[in-house]
Structure 1
């Protein structure tokens, strides 16, 4: 790409007058820079920039000013790296004619789970750097999906939004908090691993898949990352589903909490519930149970061992806790009978 064009796309300032006028690929790691590449310095590190230049980078994008550096490189200064990456994403999505779907967080998790390989749509996840790498590597007319509404408006304003509700309410039977039976396309799905709260959003997603000929299967439908139940013993050892009166419920998306808390307490007025938040988070919605804050997963588990509860709704991904929750083993004693 022409350096002049790229500077205009990202609204940068070219601080040098390089003898070259174009670059090859865009790279984020100095170790992967090839001769003729453009290096995007996401860490504001002159050391990283020097490494990239030594590897043969023709151009550098950074928030740092040009100070006695290589006069022959194209030093492109930008005001913020976040806005720069957003502009790169928006330009690339348009230039490659990429399709982008906007789903709810719950639909996003289920869509990744139920799509049949080879998957038509790929999940756009991670931080802005990860997303930019993914989009830069995409082929023409590839398809992606994400749940971040604010980001989608900036990088893909023409993204198609998937509905989360149906014109006709679905036939639904809830079994406790975590299992549901429902009908879709005249087929009855019995006691599926999905909270009743999420069923309508799932069915709206299935309706979209059917109307767009996207292959999927519900044969292995499982709990998604949202409102994920983890049954534990009183010592917080992992137990099989439904075999304990204590459940840790993991929710990585803080914005879903008001809805989930309402759902939790609507199931029973007598339950003992805890809301567990990382110490930097605070809530401003009604919660009828006790709230505790934690610094680390280990810290929270220590606190939970001293609490009496039925459900502990934890604002975190279960992956951070799973290594700490050992599976409970039972020893069978020999019997004479």
Structure 2
């Protein structure tokens, strides 16, 4: 990567008069810097090690002491914005096929083995850069506009969706599924039936674009997260209690998950614990819809209610493991 291109695309300011004009690689971890690298310094504290390891250039957006005149020091207003402009330009020659999808489909794709010419991306800008930069020409990329700025790409298409069911569910609970796809039986996958329509679209997408894939098993999703608890809200082993708190970080998915629980667990006592911002005329007077203003209220509400399933929106499951002082206060409140 040439210095003049970095300056032109990032709109950065070159400090000093360095002799270098070309860099071998772009690196974010100072311990991985090699002679000739261009180091992106999210933290000024990392610069000394990067220089020690041979960095020829440094990009930064925080106050930094310039200590080596032979190094190309590039000051930018915002590192992520600068990287987005650089990446957008350099991806042009790769002619990538880019597809947008929802966050659940993207997370499912990260659990399925695919060849190196396919990449699903999310996370900080540094992780996205490391994933996209090595891709070969005409590779296929999947991302979610909810999680990643779509302006990284010149253009993208929507995920190609299945028009008919391609998965047959053999057995299911609320949180596990055994199913058949393409004559292959996948037994007791740690995947709620809630996710099966999303998986169908993803596998159809792979098949349509002739992307080889292999399902080895699913780890826990970052959505519709079940935590089995006792009456004191202490976490128990999976499947060992009849009191489950389900956490969903994305508010956009709550309506769909409410419909799923109402249909699949009509026998159960279910409560829905939602942020005050989701209160509407449709929920007025509905006994199992409860609302919280502050995250700290969630535990006390759960403690006060009896339920088989409690769907909690917009709160992390870590609230079930509060500090001892917080637990003592909670006990005093009751």
Corresponding residue for 1:335? none
Corresponding residue for 2:31? 31
Q: Any stretches of 5+ residues in structure 2 without a counterpart? A: 323-334
Instruction: Indicate if the aligned counterparts of 1:66 and 1:75 stay in contact, CA closer than 8 A.
Output: no
TM-score normalized with structure 2 length: 0.72
Corresponding residue for 2:327? none
3-state SS of paired residue (2:257): helix
1:48–1:188 Cα change, 3 Å: closer
Corresponding residue for 1:15? 15
Q: Which moved more, 1:117-126 or 1:29-38?
A: 117-126
Residue in structure 2 matching 1:166, options 163, 168, 178: 163
Q: Deviations over 1:277-311 (max 9, x none)?
A: 7xxxx63354652234436xxx9668744542222
3-state SS of paired residue (1:38): strand
Corresponding residue for 2:208? 211
Q: For 1:310-329, what aligned pairs fall within 5 Å after superposition?
A: 310-314=308-312, 315=314, 320=318
Instruction: Indicate if the aligned counterparts of 1:174 and 1:195 stay in contact, CA closer than 8 A.
Output: no
Corresponding residue for 2:278? 284
How many Å apart are 1:182 and its aligned residue?
Answer: 7.9
3-state SS of paired residue (2:278): coil
Number of residue pairs matched?
312
Corresponding residue for 2:231? 234
Q: Any stretches of 5+ residues in structure 1 without a counterpart? A: 325-337
1:203–1:169 Cα change, 3 Å: closer
How many Å apart are 1:144 and its aligned residue?
Answer: 3.5
Alpha-carbon distance in 1 for matches of 2:188, 2:31? 51
Q: Do structure 1's residue 247 and structure 2's residue 244 form an aligned pair?
A: yes
Alpha-carbon distance in 2 for matches of 1:265, 1:99? 39
How many Å apart are 1:221 and its aligned residue?
Answer: 6.1
Q: Deviations over 1:192-242 (max 9, x none)?
A: 76555443332222222222223345685676432133333334342443x
Corresponding residue for 1:202? 199
Instruction: Indicate if the aligned counterparts of 2:99 and 2:156 stay in contact, CA closer than 8 A.
Output: yes
Instruction: Indicate if the aligned counterparts of 2:227 and 2:235 stay in contact, CA closer than 8 A.
Output: no
Instruction: Indicate if the aligned counterparts of 1:152 and 1:159 stay in contact, CA closer than 8 A.
Output: no
Residue in structure 1 matching 2:142, options 141, 145, 152: 145
3-state SS of paired residue (1:151): coil
1:41–1:306 Cα change, 3 Å: same
Instruction: Indicate if the aligned counterparts of 2:27 and 2:39 stay in contact, CA closer than 8 A.
Output: yes
Q: Which moved more, 1:13-22 or 1:283-292?
A: 283-292
Q: Deviations over 1:49-106 (max 9, x none)?
A: 3443344322221124676643332221211122112223323433444443322222
Alpha-carbon distance in 2 for matches of 1:135, 1:3? 20
Corresponding residue for 1:57? 55
Alpha-carbon distance in 2 for matches of 1:16, 1:261? 59
1:186–1:16 Cα change, 3 Å: same
How many Å apart are 1:4 and its aligned residue?
Answer: 0.6
1:239–1:305 Cα change, 3 Å: farther
Corresponding residue for 2:124? 127
How many Å apart are 1:128 and its aligned residue?
Answer: 1.6
How many Å apart are 1:154 and its aligned residue?
Answer: 0.9
3-state SS of paired residue (2:277): coil
